[in-house]
Homo-oligomer: A and B are copies of this chain.
Amino acid sequence: MSITVVGSVALDTIETPFGKITDGLGGSGTHFSVSAGFFTQVNLVGVVGDDFPKEHMAMLKSRRIGLDGLQIAKGKTFRWVGKYDFDLNNAQTLETHLNVFETFKPELPAAYRHPSVLFLANIDPDLQRHVIEQAGKPGFIALDTMNLWINIKKESLAKTIKLVNLVTINEGEARLFAGTPNLVKAAKDIQALGPKTVVIKQGEYGALLFHGDHVFRAPAMPLEQVFDPTGAGDSFAGGLIGYLDRKGQFDDFETLKTGVVCGSVMASFNVEKFSCDRLLEVSVADVQNRFNSFEGLSRFETIVL
């Protein structure tokens, strides 16, 4: 029972209407790992520069996240500078400095091969396939992506999607990839490439799970204070994939439904503070309590008309 995840580890400088953070710990691999770590063992494959703060390394170690696959390269850590306006829905990228990430070639340590689950967080789909080739035959492969790869490497992305069991993608990206505004059709298009399971992330609206012919809609928590949405999608995937790995079930609709709710729970914490700060504060009991409040949020009585 363990997840090998490959993704970015970054230092984010972010401004929202509620505050500003400089060089906060971010990146898709980081947000995923911290979230999934509530449910299962996670091994993180990525790269940082030699300027990467030791306290972040210590924090990740303290969460029992495997770091043998985290390369420390000569140079600077990947940095992203972004800004959100009041609606918090669209990140405006001000600066991207790939730094050591530019020449990153993920290498899986021997101990990380043949994981029960391989999660390919948002990176170049060519690199995602390079990781699949090294991973032996994982029991289950999931991937996330972003609009950039749909725009500039769609064929490569489609090739990678053919190799995986589950895709998480946000709704705008699903529409862009499939060329249709209709999400049911978009999910079917992605499923037709191979993955039986497609999870469409809808931000403050929740998520849609398509598994074979089954559909489930997970709610998102209506929050009065959304502080910083950065990493919400990665925390979501961490809760979902972490829960599946903990249960050891990847093809059961009920387990997938619960997993998607776990994803929504973790994302709802993630957005309450900058970086992973909120997830670092909460306990397993807090996660359980919020899961319970998701139930309250979406349960309704049967009627007979």
Residues of A within 8 A of B (CB): 38-39, 86-88, 180-185, 202, 204-206, 208, 215-220, 222-226, 243, 254, 257-258, 260-262, 284, 287-288, 291-292, 295, 297-305
Contacts and interface: CB of A to CB of B under 8 A. Distances in A.
A258 B217 contact: no
B297 A217 contact: yes
Pairs A-B, 10 closest by C-beta atoms: A205-B205, A87-B181, A217-B219, A184-B224, A257-B300, A288-B305, A184-B222, A86-B181, A298-B298, A258-B301
Quickly give the copy total for this chain: 2
Given A88-B181, A184-B223, A217 B303 contact: no
A193 to B, nearest CB: 18
Given A86-B181, A202-B205, A205-B205, A301 B254 contact: yes
A262 to B, nearest CB: 8
A300 B258 contact: yes
Nearest to A87: B181
A201 to B, nearest CB: 12
A299 B294 CA distance: 11
A148 to B, nearest CB: 22
Contacts of A183: 204, 222
Contact of A208 (B222, B226, B243): B222
A297 B258 contact: no
B305 A284 contact: yes
Contacts of A205: 202, 205-206
B218 A300 contact: yes
Given A182-B224, A182-B226, 5 more contacts: A183-B222, A208-B222, A258-B301, A288-B304, A298-B298
Contacts of A181: 86-88
A304 B297 CA distance: 18
A26 to B, nearest CB: 23
Nearest to A180: B86
Contacts of A182: 224-226
24 contacts: A38-B305, A86-B180, A182-B226, A183-B204, A183-B222, A184-B223, A185-B224, A202-B205, A205-B205, A205-B206, A215-B222, A216-B300, A217-B298, A254-B300, A254-B301, A258-B300, A284-B305, A288-B303, A288-B304, A288-B305, A291-B303, A292-B302, A295-B300, A298-B298
A230 to B, nearest CB: 17
A205 B219 CA distance: 9
Nearest to A304: B288
A258 B284 CA distance: 32
Contacts of A204: 183
